Structures are given as C-alpha cells and as structure tokens.
Amino acid sequence: MTHLWVRAEQRANEERTGLIPEGAAALVAAGIAVTVEESASRAIPIDGYRDAGCTIATPHSWPDAPRDAIIFGLKELPEDGTPLPHRHIMFGHAFKGQGAGCALLQRFKAGGGTLYDLEYLVDEDGRRIAAFGYWAGYAGAAVTLKAWAAQQRGAICGRVATYPGKDALTSALSSELDATGKPRPSALVIGALGRVGRGAADICEAMGVSVTRWDMAETASGGPFPEILSHDLFLNCILARPGTPVFVPHSALEAPRRLTAIGDIACDPDSDYNPVPVYDRATTWDQPVLRVATNRVLDVMAIDNLPSMLPVESSHDYAAQLLPSLLTLEDIGAGVWGRARQVFERHLKEL
C-alpha cells in the first residue's frame, strides 16, 4: 500500500500545508495510507485529519517513518547533513545553482532517497500542475506596498505577520496607505499573465495603485528596461531560468529613477539567473526588506514563503490543485512523478 507521510513544517512562520482534510479523506478512500504529524503551527487543525482516517504522528518523527513511506512537506528540511533514504515531496530549491541545493542533493545521494520537487511537477506540456503563485503575488505586492508606505514616513518596513484572511490584509494595508497622505504609487508587474503576476496586480488594483502589466512580449528584447525605473514599485513575478533578462542591474542604484521599492516575489537571489542582482539574500518576516541604496532609497522585498501570510486560503487553493496528482502516487514512476524524478536524477549525476 502506498503510504504518504505529511510532516510538520519546521520553519518559522510556515503555517501552510499541501494537503487539507478533505484531500486526505479522498486519498484514504483511494487506498492510500496517510500519516499526518501534529503541528502547533499548521493553519489547518489536526482533528480534521483524524476524522478523515489519517494516522496521527508526533511532530518531526518522519526520519523514523517506514522506509517505503513518501514524505510530504513544503519547505526545507533541517540542515543537519544527515543522509536522506526516503522519497520526499517538497520544494527543494536545488536545481538552479542555489548554494544550499548542492548540499541537499548530496544528502539524497548519500541516503539513496529521491526528491520529487514540487516546482518541477509538470504536465506533458511542461506546465506546473500546482503552485502557490496567486497568493505569493498577492502577499508579496502587499509587503512591497507596506515598504513604500514606510518610506513615506521616513522609515523602513517593519515586521510582517500572518492574517486570518485576505480581507483583514487589505483592510490593514489600505489604512497604512491612507495614513501616508500621498497619492497611490505606480507599479510595474513583470509576469502579469501568470498566477503570481495576477495576484500581485489584483491587490495593487484593489488598493488603487496604477498597474503596468508586462509579460514575455514586453521583455523579449532582453533589456535594458528604463520603464521599470520610471515606476514607484517593481514587482518581479517570473522564476529565474537560463535566458531570463536582467531587469534591475547594479547600475540602477546610481541612476536617476522614480523606483524606490522592488518586490522580488520570485525570490531567487542565490540563482545564477537572478534577474534582480541588486541584492544577494532573501529577506525575512522580521526584516521584510533589504535597503540596497540610501542616497535615493531603494528597498528590496524578497521573502521566500509569502503565501504563508494567508495560510488558510493558500493551503486550500494549493491542495486542490495538487490532489489529482497525489491520487496517482501508486504509479509514482509515471506521469508528473516520473518527470520530476528524471529532473532529480539528471541533477544528481551532475554533482
């Protein structure tokens, strides 16, 4: 019997899950055994999983799970260097030249396990079958607007936290923008046709922000892109990959510009293909922005688990997208799982 083991996330400020109780019940009905670890931070209460027929386990007990269990989580594992013998479903951030990615792959190589990276679960046409993108864009644009509002006060954006829902977020953000006494800023969104870009544009428009929407056609020239510098905000909503243009080069720090806040919602600072190379590390919930220029202020927001600001909505959305593929886990060598394994094996050979 296929056994899916849902681990408790260990990262601070991570309350999302990729499986909600309704989905767990569907898996159990399909003959898949489901174990769910208890978690003090998961936005979805454990009782729903118990009622769905799942086995409940203690937090962070997955290393002792049966060897044939498939371990499912979202964010990174503890960086303790231990070999990884299980099959893992998660966002590994290991295939685009990220510094920690090589160490993670070495752990899989040492343990004989397999990484099925959620970012690389794609259909036959190469399109991702599930993504948190919309809520990443929504929350990322919100934090970037908070950064702009703080600038109007002569301050830097302070700590951010989770919200019980998007109405609470938009209400709080509207009050912050109103308190500046300034007209709403302008924003340029790159990747506006994708899920991330749609989320970013939607909250901007809800806040009365003027939005310029760009996608592949507008960036096909490869740059430079002076239009970015003529907006107050720039929101990058495309994943870094070979051939991605540089949108904001280092020279922009000293160039004449209106731009004062960047939301790098894709957040790939460690990638060799980072299109916003004016910063070099992700930001955090405690320090949401990195000030990269002071003569003419420029702040970069690059939080890498933005959808967890709206953990209930983002969990329900993502889990619904992913469930059809989870229901095919008994044939893990085929379909989206087979394609993801091929990506993993190719990168493992390159170590």
| Planar angle of CA 20, 170, 299, nearest 5 degrees | 100
What count of other Cβ atoms lies within 10 Å of the Cβ of residue 128?
Answer: 17
Our answer to whether residue 75 is catalytic in this structure is: yes
Q: Is 297 buried (19+), middle (13-18) or exposed (0-12) by CB count in 10 A? A: middle
Mean pLDDT of the region 185-214: 98
Query: Is 31:1 a contact under the CB 8 Å cutoff?
Result: yes
The percent of residues in the chain predicted with pLDDT above 70, rounded, is 99
pLDDT tens, residue by residue, 20-52: 999 999 999 999 999 999 999 999 999 999 999
Which of these is catalytic: 3, 60, 75, 316? Answer: 75
Residue with tokens 């970015």: 228
If phi > 0 it is left, if psi is from -120 to 50 it is alpha, else beta; for residue 230 that is alpha
Which of these is catalytic: 93, 96, 146, 231? Answer: 93
Our answer to whether residue 349 is catalytic in this structure is: no
Q: Is 210 buried (19+), middle (13-18) or exposed (0-12) by CB count in 10 A? A: middle
Query: Is 3:68 a contact under the CB 8 Å cutoff?
Result: yes
The percent of residues in the chain predicted with pLDDT above 90, rounded, is 92
Edge to edge, what strands does the sheet with 3-6 contain? Answer: 55-57, 33-37, 3-6, 70-72, 87-90, 114-117
What pLDDT, on a 0 to 100 scale, did the predictor assign at position 100? 81
pLDDT tens, residue by residue, 230-251: 999 999 999 888 889 999 999 9
What pLDDT, on a 0 to 100 scale, did the predictor assign at position 99? 67
What pLDDT, on a 0 to 100 scale, did the predictor assign at position 272? 85
pLDDT tens, residue by residue, 61-112: 999 999 999 999 999 999 999 999 999 999 998 987 776 889 999 999 999 9
pLDDT tens, residue by residue, 314-340: 999 999 999 999 999 999 999 999 999
